[in-house]
């Protein structure tokens, strides 16, 4: 089971920058009680570990037959699959026969390079969009659609859609052309969707067992409502992060895993936290970091910059690889101390030293410990962080499942591209482009 | 030439969240005058575009003969090369014969995977450490050193060191074993070193001409001291970012390129900015972002979260690839508007729409425009941002070239690993590990 260390956020350890255990536990109890009322239907993500995955597994079997697997998706439709790929099949495209590309932007260069590498005849394209109207995803879908048809290939054999069970453009097209479909349940929103077909099909395609991911997540779902605080680390973490903002005005949350395989977990978490809580002037800025690398990049700022951060370490107890540092150059003092240790010892020691340095300097920090990196614990950390984020949203009193702030930009994009019904926005863009502005 | 748009930071555009042109220009003049005094010898990075690169080019020729090129380095010794690789040779390891790995962590899993992929006999290893005592870099160096010797390969043929001209462990070893060496000039510090052999050898190894990178950088060096503000966008940018912090308390600087090829430029800039300015309680937190992707991740927080951010767009006028979106599914309104546009249009339109949405919501934002992505403009943006960061440091009144805050963590690491002279720290670590702490 994932564990949470939170001593270094307490007053007795870091003085006036800290908070008291009593404050934390009061807020933690409140977060559990708020969650127990199930105030949003979107909390259905808690039930995902108990879903029937037989259809996903069937599609996964089919996906195994293709040499190239491409995901077209962005935001919640891309970040979860990215984590699974990088955590559970690192260096996949250099080590494995099946190459996977997650195209989560509309960069024309990236598109061209991917096309250069793949062979369309051997490619399965998984288009992921809950609404079926995500501009970026549909734009690249349209290009692939035409390419597949131009090559006289069967669209039914080269596309799988992952989308809403009933509605949207992808559903319309699927019905007309008999494209195989997987569902994102109606009440599950994008950034909480990694435990649906969104993440699980990719997992199966690269040979990871979905059921193990879900088993890990289940252990968390079963504890989310547990009022016995010692069984509910999620409530502690939500409460600590909330209080660090509200009582101590610490508005930057550094998410800091010490493992290359968890690098994209930072990106996934940062979407989850930012979009769920950043509203009504509330929320904090989640910062995607990586250790030990960022000790040589960001640590200076954390130690001596503005007092506005909380550091959340994520460590891995057993990396599954040892790799001993040999005892060479015994005459050179600056090298001798390294010999005989392993890389695992070194990465974990550096984490510990950084944690201690922050504590000595009275900087609040906490630590999530993963026993190892495998499907089970990746499932656990996903659900763990989804529960923590929901709880934090309830403490802040915001709806952790909407994102009203992105609409304006979308409307202006529609206007600029000439979508019907957005003529006013189109005019606004034209006027803006006419302005000279200050340019140097 | 790189251009800077800064209208959307002015009071007339965004009201009370903005600042006045007068304030900006006063501060900009001050930054030029401070820089002109050359108060730090480390400003020598401004002279790098004029260096003699014949030795680097010779070594680059040699590097071309190897199938695998590995960089061992961390922080400033890794991030610059990463930018060059990803910007100028995207998907390098899937598309090119020569595979490049930049090992910038001590993750034992990553190490194992790289070893699995490469063939040591065909591998050139570039060890980069200015001081020659970076623990992470030396640890992986020791492992590779033993592997090369165990295979009875000639260390002279498989290692190149990039290090201090005179001092340090790498220099000692180079002298003893006749390892070829490139220099990092004495007065150039890690995070300002991309235009030395640190970045340029990698460039040559992948077939990029160093002289083009330096030519771009030269255009910036030549303008850095220019008191004619209309010729000095660096002074404007430094001044705007400084004032947004000091006058408006905006402590998060989102660095937001709209191009996958500039993704690691965000990481490089974030090290430069954080380590240079984050001291004496000053500085702001640079946030590594990427468009359009983060419109589906962070935009909600920027639009409706706390009022603590400045957004700095980086756009590319000509991506060099078109890729037209076909006009398919004419009966579906939600798809029709996309047809006939190109991916380049879409990515640049989304940037524009996001900029307009932020402006309408009175959020300060600015834009750096790159004409295209090539060696010349990558050289330019490196030097541009290095000058901006130095100027900001001078305005803050901090030394932008040191990093005293990382020492404590290093000492504790030495102590934990048993390095001679760090026995007190070693005891401290032992005591810390004995404490029970709050764990749930």
**A245 within 8 A of B305, measured Cβ to Cβ:** no
Q: Do B313 and B411 belong together in one domain?
A: no
Question: CB distance A90–B78 less than 8 Å?
Answer: no
Nearest by Cα to B103 from B135, B129, B76, B136: B136
Q: Do B11 and B93 belong together in one domain?
A: no
Q: Do B275 and B409 belong together in one domain?
A: no
Nearest to A416 among B271, B279, B353 (CB): B353
Q: How far is CA B317 from CA B39, B304, B349, B355, in A?
A: 36, 29, 11, 15
Our answer to whether residue A275 is catalytic in this structure is: yes
Is the minimum CB–CB distance between A88 and chain B shorter than 8 Å? no
Question: CB distance A139–B416 less than 8 Å?
Answer: no
> For the residues A325-329, what does the mean pLDDT come to?
95
Q: Do A237 and A312 belong together in one domain?
A: yes
pLDDT on residue A378: 98
pLDDT at A26 over 90: yes
Give SS3 for A10. strand
Last residue of a domain, one of B206, B236, B256: B206
pLDDT on residue A208: 98
Question: Chain A partners of B281 at a C-beta cutoff of 8 Å?
Answer: 304-307
pLDDT on residue A253: 98
Q: Is A440 contained in some domain? A: no
For A400, half-sphere exposure in the C-beta direction (CA atoms, 13 angstrom radius) is 31
Is the minimum CB–CB distance between A249 and chain B shorter than 8 Å? no
Q: Is B26 contained in some domain? A: yes
Q: Do B236 and B337 belong together in one domain?
A: yes
Question: CB distance B138–A334 less than 8 Å?
Answer: yes
Q: Do A291 and A429 belong together in one domain?
A: no
Q: Do A187 and A222 belong together in one domain?
A: no
Q: Do B291 and B366 belong together in one domain?
A: yes
Q: What are the pLDDT digits (tens) for A273-303?
A: 999 999 999 999 999 999 999 999 999 999 9
Q: What are the pLDDT digits (tens) for A356-407?
A: 999 999 999 999 999 999 999 999 999 999 999 999 999 999 999 999 999 9
In chain A, the residue whose alpha carbon lies closest to the alpha carbon of B439 is: A5
Q: Do A171 and A297 belong together in one domain?
A: no
CA A113 to centroid of chain Cα atoms: 25
Which run of H or of E encompasses B412? helix B407-417
Among B104, B285, B423, the strongest candidate for a mutation testing the A interface, having the largest count of A CBs within 10 A, is B285
Q: Do A244 and A126 belong together in one domain?
A: no
Is the minimum CB–CB distance between B396 and chain A shorter than 8 Å? no
Is the minimum CB–CB distance between A131 and chain B shorter than 8 Å? no
Confidence of residue A412 (pLDDT cuts 50, 70, 90): very high
Give SS3 for A221. helix
Question: Chain B partners of A302 at a C-beta cutoff of 8 Å?
Answer: 278, 405
Active-site annotation holder among B25, B410, B419, B428: B410
**A229 within 8 A of A25, measured Cβ to Cβ:** yes
Q: Is A44 contained in some domain? A: no
Our answer to whether residue A122 is catalytic in this structure is: no
Looking up residue A142, the CATH number of its domain turns out to be: 3.40.50.10490
Q: Is B293 contained in some domain? A: yes
Q: What are the pLDDT digits (tens) for A104-120?
A: 999 999 999 999 999 99
Question: Chain B partners of A301 at a C-beta cutoff of 8 Å?
Answer: 274-275, 277-278, 283, 285, 405
pLDDT at A23 over 90: yes
Number of domains chain A contains: 3
- Label the pairing between strands A159-163 and B252-257: unpaired
Last residue of a domain, one of B178, B206, B234: B206
Q: Is B199 contained in some domain? A: yes
pLDDT on residue B172: 96
**B342 within 8 A of A108, measured Cβ to Cβ:** yes
What integer best gives the mean pLDDT of chain A? 97
Is the minimum CB–CB distance between B306 and chain A shorter than 8 Å? yes
Q: Is A51 contained in some domain? A: no
Q: What are the pLDDT digits (tens) for A189-218?
A: 999 999 999 999 999 999 999 999 999 999
Last residue of a domain, one of B145, B172, B206: B206
Q: Is B35 contained in some domain? A: yes
Per the DSSP assignment, residues forming a β-bridge with A439 are B5
Q: Do A248 and A388 belong together in one domain?
A: yes
Q: What is the mean pLDDT of each run of 10 residues along chain B (440 residues)?
A: 97 97 98 98 98 98 96 98 98 97 97 97 98 96 98 98 96 97 98 98 98 98 97 98 98 98 98 98 98 97 98 98 93 93 98 98 98 98 98 98 97 96 97 93
Domain that residue B202 falls in: 65-206
Is the minimum CB–CB distance between B435 and chain A shorter than 8 Å? yes
Nearest by Cα to A293 from A240, A256, A264: A256
Q: How far apart are CA A297 and CA A354, in angstroms?
A: 13
ipTM score above 0.90: yes
Q: Do B374 and B414 belong together in one domain?
A: no
- Specify the pTM: 0.98
Q: What are the pLDDT digits (tens) for B283-327?
A: 999 999 999 999 999 999 999 999 999 999 999 999 999 899 999
Interface of B with A in 6-45 (CB under 8 A): 6-7, 10, 21
Q: What are the pLDDT digits (tens) for A123-182?
A: 999 999 999 999 999 999 999 999 999 999 999 999 999 999 999 999 999 999 999 999
Interface of B with A in 187-226 (CB under 8 A): 190
pLDDT at A333 over 90: no
Q: Is A251 contained in some domain? A: yes
């Amino acid at each position: 089971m994932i564990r949470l260390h939170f001593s270094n956020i307490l007053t007795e350890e870091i003085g006036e920058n800290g908070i008291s255990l009593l404050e934390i536990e009061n807020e933690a109890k409140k977060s559990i009680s708020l969650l127990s009322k199930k105030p949003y239907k979107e909390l259905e993500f808690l039930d995902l570990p108990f879903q029937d995955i037989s259809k996903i597994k069937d599609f996964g079997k089919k996906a195994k037959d293709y040499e190239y697997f491409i995901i077209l998706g962005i935001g919640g439709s891309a970040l979860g699959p990215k984590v699974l790929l990088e955590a559970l099949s690192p260096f996949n495209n250099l080590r494995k026969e099946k190459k996977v590309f997650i195209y989560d932007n509309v960069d024309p260069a990236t598109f061209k390079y991917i096309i250069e590498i793949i062979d369309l005849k051997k490619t399965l394209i998984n288009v992921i969009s809950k609404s079926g109207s995500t501009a970026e995803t549909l734009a690249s879908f349209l290009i692939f659609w035409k390419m597949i048809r131009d090559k006289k290939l069967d669209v039914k054999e080269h596309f799988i859609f992952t989308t809403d069970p009933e509605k949207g453009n992808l559903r319309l097209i699927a019905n007309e052309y008999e494209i195989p479909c997987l569902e994102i349940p109606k009440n599950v929103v994008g950034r909480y969707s990694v435990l649906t077909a969104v993440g699980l099909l990719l997992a199966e395609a690269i040979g990871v067992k979905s059921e193990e991911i879900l088993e890990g997540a289940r252990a968390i779902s079963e504890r989310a409502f547990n009022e016995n605080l010692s069984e509910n680390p999620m409530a502690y973490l939500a409460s600590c992060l909330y209080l660090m903002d509200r009582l101590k005005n610490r508005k930057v949350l550094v998410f800091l895993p010490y493992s290359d395989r968890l690098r994209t977990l930072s990106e996934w978490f940062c979407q989850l936290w930012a979009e769920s809580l950043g509203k009504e002037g509330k929320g904090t800025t989640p910062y995607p970091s990586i250790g030990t690398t960022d000790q040589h990049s960001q640590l200076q700022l954390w130690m001596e910059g503005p007092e506005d951060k909380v550091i959340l370490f994520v460590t891995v107890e057993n990396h599954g690889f040892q790799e001993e540092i040999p005892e060479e150059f015994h005459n050179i003092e600056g090298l001798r101390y390294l010999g005989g240790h392993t890389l695992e010892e070194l990465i974990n020691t550096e984490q510990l030293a950084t944690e201690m340095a922050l504590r000595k300097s009275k900087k609040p920090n906490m630590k999530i410990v993963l026993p190892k990196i495998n499907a089970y614990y990746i499932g656990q950390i996903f659900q763990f962080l989804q529960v923590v984020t929901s709880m934090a949203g309830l403490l802040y009193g915001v709806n952790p499942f909407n994102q009203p702030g992105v609409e304006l930009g979308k409307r202006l994009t529609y206007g600029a591209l000439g979508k019907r019904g957005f003529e006013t926005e189109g005019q606004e863009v034209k006027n803006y482009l006419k302005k000279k502005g200050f340019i140097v």
